[in-house]
Amino acid sequence: MKLTALTGIFALILWLTPYYGDPSEFNPRSVRITSFGIKSEIRSEFGQKSDWIRISNTSSQQIIMNQGEWFLSDKGMEFPDKFKLPRVELDPGASIIIWCDGLNVQAHDIHTNFKLKQTGEEVGLYYRPAGTKSSAFEWISGAVFSPQDRDVAGYFILPSGDLQPLFTSDLP
């Protein structure tokens, strides 16, 4: 009788414990740039209207982006590690806004060392696992965009890689 009760309690504990998946099944492509803004009307913590990138966890498990493994760049594979992201923890389905204002600081929010150009350029998220060669970067997600239309504030990046205009009413 006692064994059955203990087995039942153990089963209940296992059932109530959240499962974030096997860490060995980590897929860096579960983290991606889902939108970005240029000529933005939203303000950073410093009160400035700033460009931004939204990075989202599209998986069903928590993702820990370790410092020194994740990078943002507006220069493509020429300079994939232009901005090294600090450690970021993203719960399933969660997002984080990274400000592209050239300030290169981490206060409450993260601010890159580059700005996005309204005339068009590339924005990318890159991954390099710890312990790999310094040149072994993997492009994870991003987009190449053209000069901005007057009423477009940025773009959603669809899973297909296509860009969908982002208007002021869509801003985070």
Is 45 inside any structural domain? yes
User: How many structural domains are present in the chain?
Assistant: 1
Measure Cα distances from 30 to 26, 33, 76 in Å: 8, 10, 20
Is 16 inside any structural domain? no
Q: pLDDT of the chain along its 172 residues, tens only?
A: 444 544 444 433 333 333 344 444 678 889 999 999 887 778 889 888 889 999 999 999 999 999 999 999 999 999 999 999 999 999 999 999 999 999 999 988 999 999 998 888 899 999 998 888 777 899 999 998 888 776 677 888 888 888 888 776 555 5
For residue 28, report the phi and psi dihedrals to the nearest 5 degrees.
-60, -20
Is 62 inside any structural domain? yes
Is 12 inside any structural domain? no
Residues 3/122, Cβ–Cβ less than 8 Å: no
Is 10 inside any structural domain? no
Give 72-84 as a 3 state SS string. EECCHHHCCCCEE
Domain at 156, CATH number: 2.60.40.1260
Is 9 inside any structural domain? no
The angle formed by the CA atoms of residues 10, 25 and 128, to the nearest 5 degrees, is 135
Q: Which domain holds residue 102?
A: 28-170
Q: Which helix (H) or strand (E) holds 111?
A: strand 110-111
Is 71 inside any structural domain? yes
Record the tokens describing residue 157, joined without a space: 């990046």
Is 22 inside any structural domain? no
Percentages helix, strand, coil for the chain (3-state, rounded to 5) are 15, 35, 50
- How far apart, in whole angstroms, are the C-alpha atoms of residue 80 and residue 25? 25
- How far apart, in whole angstroms, are the C-alpha atoms of residue 98 and residue 113? 11
